Amino acid sequence: MKTIAEIESIRKEKREELDLRVNLKSNAVEKHILVCRGTGCTSSKSPKIIENFRRIIEEKGIKNVRVVQTGCFGLCAKGPIVIIRPEETFYAHVTPEDCEEIIQSHICEGKKVERLLCKDVNGEIVKKLDDLNFYKKQKRIALKNCGVIDPEQIDEYIAFDGYKALEKVLTSMKPDEVIDVISKSGLRGRGGAGFPTGKKWSFAKNEKSDQKYVICNADEGDPGAFMDRSILEGDPNCVLEAMAIAGYAIGANQGYIYVRAEYPIAVDRLKIAINQAREYGLLGKNIFNSGFDFDIDIRLGAGAFVCGEETALLESIEGKRGQPRVKPPYPASQGLFGKPTIINNVETLANVTKIILNGADWFASIGTENSKGTKVFALGGNVNNVGLVEVPMGTTLREIVFDIGGGIPNGRKFKAAQTGGPSGGCIPAEHLDTPIDYESLSSIGSMMGSGGLIVMDDSKCMVDIARFYLDFTVSESCGKCTPCRIGTKRMLEILTRMCEGKGEADDLYKLELLANSIKKSAICGLGQTAPNPVLSTMKYFKDEYIEHVSYNMCRAGQCKELCEITIDPQKCKGCGLCKRNCPVHAISGEPKQVHKIDQDLCIKCGTCVDKCPFKAISK
Amino acid sequence: MEQKCVCDKIKKEMKKILEKYPKEKDRLIAILNDVQERFGYIPKQAQLEISDYLSIPMAEIYGVITFYSRFTLAPKGKYNISVCLGTACFVKGAKSLLDRAQEKLKIKPGEVTPDGKFSIDDVRCVGACGLAPVFMVNDEVYGNATVKKLDEVIDKYASEE
């Protein structure tokens, strides 16, 4: 248990020690080798890299160099990433075998290892982190500490103003004042629907009850989205601190974090953070001697997308099947175990501490009129810089995809961007200049969602994409209400037959009718938004639907039943590259003779199309 | 006789697992997660033990197990191949990986080969979107995957004892 003065002295001491992490001009004699330990880099062997660095440093007896594991730097496409501070040297695609060279050349001899330096989209070497276009337009609030601190050391979090907001709240603010600041800041829920956070808190505060709960929704089920995971992996303490602040504001003493069991690293870091916070007395009884008690427990999900819906999540924490409840009553009056409860998303909470410290006006000055602050997106799919980006609200899609994301690889064209996952829609090129905020996205048929942003190039079939999302919703529908359980299944059947070339004339009409009825009649958010991917693709890519139904044609060549892969005899030189690479041996032909594809064997994987050096093969 | 042996073993293990939890109904999912991790599936005997311990009917436990995709009622293969079908992987061609795995091993997602060596899962997002498309064999992640790489990996494990 530490007093305010003791925490303050840890903060001062550590801040000085870690100054070189954020201060480029630092004169520190020490060097810190930061290695990303987010899920992406971890799966490409970053733990081994850390181990090697530490071993080599010890063997060589090098002083003043520290190897630090951090959360996600954001640029996952370049992983595993190693950054050396204070000079901010950015090494990309590092392997465990490269460690020796980096230590010898960079640390011992002061020469950067040229071949490992990160290159931008144009192939130019990036000297420093900030030189990368990827970072220039970003503004990091929620991700402030990700990639800077070691998430398993609470002292490092404290060094960068950690637990200062909680101290401020407990020593100098009344619960109503806290809610007032959050309301004035304009913070809205980052989980998808965008409900004003301050309002949610005040509803729960006004309920009279002997017991209330604060829940952090970390059930990030949206495929292709990993914002919340990265925050939990890179800066778990900021979520704990915000939950304690929320607890103080509404009068709750117990918090739960509902996190996916599929995120083992995030779960481990949370456990470590909770234990360290308890040890320091930042969680538990009588925090900062203020008389306020607050503790947090972790509850694991078990793989059900619908549990991201707040009432389904409550059922799941109670140990039941995760089926949504009928609202009202809302969780703010009858939530977990029937008690008043607030449920906030990870990213929402990650903003809270910064708002308390910097003030509501500061936060409200960022973003657009009705959407304040920043939004974190998981940028993925057919884009050069796959990774995690945080931009002010109001940034356009074009800036994200082309400036930050570095455009579309392989010389292909932008076709659509999908936001909001299975609940969102596809945004076509004509809306690339729409400033992103809650209202503008829903006005063009999509939604903010939790922040997955998948870019698609012109090789994607939009009917197939709609089918993919419906397939997801059908398998994730909980089965409680009929429109979602049966309606989405019927929609999937229609889409599947379109993709197989068996579409019927009135299918388009049926699809639209079904979609609109499900939207109106399903009981929870999952069902109500399930038709969105279909409706938005039907709106912007209607031609493709008509082609599938009326002409048995798929212009992108994705629907296997509707396309054939053929070799142009004029262009084929008989090099045999396609034959050697075909996984099912469907291609035959003698060297220097025109090759042929056996259509019965061909699985249309497209490997030969990519491999042919003469562009003789096409879908 | 052998059957009884297995049951006893499960009972013993279950005792160790259940001891960690208070007898509160809301702990059911946490316990099931533990059991799934320990055995690779949720044996009937384990369900019986949980039912006794938490005083929850077997039917209700079965309902919870079948609701969540992480829980399975039968063991997986020695090498479980999970192909990620998250959106980022999907737009980069993960479907052809899944098709290929099914074709090669002649089983569908959720099934196990007759020799118990392989099983296939289609999973939604393993979180390594930067490496898309991705497949996993047990806990090992293979990023930037191609049909060819998948073939090689399966062949490698198939030749192992």
DSSP assignment string, A336-362: GGGS-EEEEEHHHHHHHHHHHHH-HHH
Tell me: do A325 and A345 sit in the same domain.
yes
A335 within 8 A of A229, measured Cβ to Cβ: no
Distance (Å, rounded) from C-alpha A463 to C-alpha A225?
22
Collect all residues of chain B within an 8 Å Cβ-Cβ radius of residue A320.
28, 64
Question: Has residue B143 been placed in a domain?
Answer: yes
Tell me: do B92 and B135 sit in the same domain.
yes
- Of residues B48, B7, B69, B56, the one with CA closest to residue B27: B56
Distance (Å, rounded) from C-alpha B22 to C-alpha A505?
60
For all residues of chain B together, what is the average pLDDT?
91
Distance (Å, rounded) from C-alpha A132 to C-alpha A140?
15
Structure letter (DSSP) for residue B25:
G
Q: How far apart are the first and last CA of chain B?
A: 28
Structural domain containing residue A45: 4-129
Question: Has residue B132 been placed in a domain?
Answer: yes
Q: What are the tens digits of pLDDT across the range A465-484?
A: 999 999 999 999 999 999 99
B128 within 8 A of A40, measured Cβ to Cβ: yes
Question: Has residue A280 been placed in a domain?
Answer: yes
Tell me: do A236 and A336 sit in the same domain.
yes
Percentage of chain A lying above the pLDDT 90 cut? 81
A261 within 8 A of A301, measured Cβ to Cβ: yes
Minimum distance, in Å, between the CA of residue B9 and any CA atom of chain A? 25
Question: Has residue B108 been placed in a domain?
Answer: yes
Question: Has residue A369 been placed in a domain?
Answer: no
CATH code where residue A482 lies: 1.20.1440.230
Number of domains in chain B: 2
Distance (Å, rounded) from C-alpha A43 to C-alpha B82?
14
- Of residues A537, A491, A536, the one with CA closest to residue A514: A491
Identify the pLDDT of residue B49: 95
Minimum distance, in Å, between the CA of residue B4 and any CA atom of chain A? 30
Nearest to A303 among B70, B99, B132 (CB): B70
Minimum distance, in Å, between the CA of residue A600 and any CA atom of chain B? 14
Question: Has residue A135 been placed in a domain?
Answer: no
Average pLDDT rounded to a whole number, residues A167-183: 97
What is the interface size between A and B, counted as CB pairs within 8 Å?
A: 142
Tell me: do B97 and B63 sit in the same domain.
no
Helix (H, G, I), strand (E, B) or coil at A456: strand
Structure letter (DSSP) for residue A119:
B
Question: Has residue A141 been placed in a domain?
Answer: no
CATH code where residue B127 lies: 3.40.30.10
Average pLDDT rounded to a whole number, residues A577-597: 90
Q: How many Cβ atoms from other residues are within 10 Å of residue A591's Cβ?
A: 10
Tell me: do B152 and B90 sit in the same domain.
yes
Question: Does A275 have pLDDT greater than 70?
Answer: yes
Tell me: do B14 and B54 sit in the same domain.
yes
Tell me: do B91 and B145 sit in the same domain.
yes
| Cβ within 8 Å of residue A70, ≥6 positions away | A34, A35, A36, A37, A146, A147, A148, A149, A150, A151, A234
Minimum distance, in Å, between the CA of residue B147 and any CA atom of chain A? 7
A606–B87: do the CB atoms touch at under 8 Å? no
What sign has the CA pseudo-torsion B18, B21, B25, B28? negative
Question: Has residue B92 been placed in a domain?
Answer: yes
Nearest to A302 among B29, B96, B103 (CB): B29
Tell me: do B124 and B146 sit in the same domain.
yes
Average pLDDT rounded to a whole number, residues A435-446: 92
Minimum distance, in Å, between the CA of residue A386 and any CA atom of chain B? 6
Identify the pLDDT of residue A130: 76
Structural domain containing residue B152: 79-159
Tell me: do A469 and A452 sit in the same domain.
no
Minimum distance, in Å, between the CA of residue B107 and any CA atom of chain A? 17
CATH code where residue A383 lies: 3.10.20.600
Collect all residues of chain A within an 8 Å Cβ-Cβ radius of residue B70.
261-262, 302-303
The residue among B44, B67, B90 that closes a domain is: B67
Collect all residues of chain A within an 8 Å Cβ-Cβ radius of residue B67.
304, 321-322, 478
Q: Give the CA diameter of chain A.
A: 85
Tell me: do A536 and A568 sit in the same domain.
no
Whether residue B133 is preceded by a cis peptide bond, meaning omega within 30 degrees of 0, is yes
Collect all residues of chain B within an 8 Å Cβ-Cβ radius of residue A387.
130
Helix (H, G, I), strand (E, B) or coil at A63: coil
Question: Has residue A145 been placed in a domain?
Answer: no
Q: Give A136: exposed, middle or buried? Use CB within 10 Å, 0-12, 13-18, 19+.
A: exposed
For the packed helices A236-250 and A175-185, what is the interaxial angle rounded to 10 degrees? 120
A78 within 8 A of A92, measured Cβ to Cβ: yes
Number of domains in chain A: 5
Q: What are the tens digits of pLDDT across the range A177-234?
A: 999 999 999 999 998 889 999 999 999 999 999 999 999 999 988 888 899 999 999 9
CA angle A429–A430–A432, rounded 5-degree value: 65
Tell me: do B106 and B61 sit in the same domain.
no
Percentage of chain B lying above the pLDDT 70 cut? 98
Question: Does B100 have pLDDT greater than 60?
Answer: yes
B124–A472: do the CB atoms touch at under 8 Å? yes
Tell me: do A125 and A159 sit in the same domain.
no
Distance (Å, rounded) from C-alpha A327 to C-alpha A524?
9
Question: Has residue B33 been placed in a domain?
Answer: yes
- Of residues A389, A373, A526, the one with CA closest to residue A75: A389
Tell me: do A18 and A88 sit in the same domain.
yes
The residue among B67, B101, B117 that closes a domain is: B67
Question: Does B6 have pLDDT greater than 90?
Answer: no
Question: Has residue B10 been placed in a domain?
Answer: yes
The residue among A364, A388, A410 that closes a domain is: A364
Tell me: do A204 and A329 sit in the same domain.
yes
- Of residues A508, A515, A458, the one with CA closest to residue A483: A515
Identify the pLDDT of residue B62: 97
Question: Does B1 have pLDDT greater than 50?
Answer: no
- Of residues A60, A101, A63, the one with CA closest to residue A82: A101
Tell me: do B143 and B103 sit in the same domain.
yes
Q: How many Cα atoms are found within 13 Å in the side-chain-facing hemisphere of A514?
A: 24
Collect all residues of chain B within an 8 Å Cβ-Cβ radius of residue A300.
29-30, 33
Token digits of residue A276 = 């360290």
A255 within 8 A of A217, measured Cβ to Cβ: no
Q: How many Cβ atoms from other residues are within 10 Å of residue B19's Cβ?
A: 8
DSSP assignment string, A433-445: T-B-SHHHHHHTT
Tell me: do A496 and A580 sit in the same domain.
no
Tell me: do A246 and A336 sit in the same domain.
yes
Question: Has residue A142 been placed in a domain?
Answer: no
Q: What are the tens digits of pLDDT across the range B80-95?
A: 999 999 888 988 889 8
Distance (Å, rounded) from C-alpha A540 to C-alpha A445?
10
Q: What are the tens digits of pLDDT across the range A393-437?
A: 999 999 999 999 999 998 899 999 999 889 999 999 999 999 999
Identify the pLDDT of residue A340: 97
Structure letter (DSSP) for residue A313:
H
Residue A256: beta bridge partners?
A215, A297
What sign has the CA pseudo-torsion B54, B58, B63, B68? positive
A7 within 8 A of A158, measured Cβ to Cβ: yes
Tell me: do A307 and A213 sit in the same domain.
yes
Q: What are the tens digits of pLDDT across the range A42-67?
A: 988 999 999 999 999 999 999 999 99
Helix (H, G, I), strand (E, B) or coil at A231: helix
Tell me: do B14 and B62 sit in the same domain.
yes
Collect all residues of chain B within an 8 Å Cβ-Cβ radius of residue A221.
124
Name the one residue in this structure whose structure tokens are 């090759």.
A595
Tell me: do B91 and B55 sit in the same domain.
no
For all residues of chain A together, what is the average pLDDT?
93
Tell me: do A27 and A71 sit in the same domain.
yes
Collect all residues of chain A within an 8 Å Cβ-Cβ radius of residue B146.
607
Question: Has residue B74 been placed in a domain?
Answer: no
Q: Where are the beta strands (DSSP E) in A494-619?
A: 566-567, 587-588, 596-597, 617-618
Q: How many Cβ atoms from other residues are within 10 Å of residue A179's Cβ?
A: 23
Tell me: do B114 and B52 sit in the same domain.
no
Distance (Å, rounded) from C-alpha A382 to C-alpha A224?
12
Identify the pLDDT of residue A29: 87
Chain B residues in contact with chain A using a Cβ-Cβ cutoff of 8 Å: 25-30, 32-33, 63-64, 67-71, 85-93, 96, 99-100, 103, 124-132, 134, 141, 143, 146-148, 151
Whether residue A80 is preceded by a cis peptide bond, meaning omega within 30 degrees of 0, is yes
Distance (Å, rounded) from C-alpha A287 to C-alpha A544?
60
Residue A258: beta bridge partners?
A217, A299
Question: Has residue A509 been placed in a domain?
Answer: yes
A337: phi > 0 → left, psi -120 to 50 → alpha, else beta; which?
A: left
Q: What are the tens digits of pLDDT across the range B103-123?
A: 999 999 989 999 999 999 988
Tell me: do A537 and A569 sit in the same domain.
no
CATH code where residue A305 lies: 3.40.50.11540
A190 within 8 A of A231, measured Cβ to Cβ: no
What sign has the CA pseudo-torsion A323, A324, A330, A331? positive
Question: Has residue B72 been placed in a domain?
Answer: no
Average pLDDT rounded to a whole number, residues A558-585: 89
Distance (Å, rounded) from C-alpha A474 to C-alpha A452?
20
Identify the pLDDT of residue A223: 84
Nearest chain A alpha carbon to B124: A223
Token digits of residue A614 = 């003469």
Question: Does A331 have pLDDT greater than 80?
Answer: yes
The residue among B67, B100, B122 that closes a domain is: B67
Tell me: do B61 and B133 sit in the same domain.
no
CATH code where residue A594 lies: 3.30.70.20
Identify the pLDDT of residue B161: 67
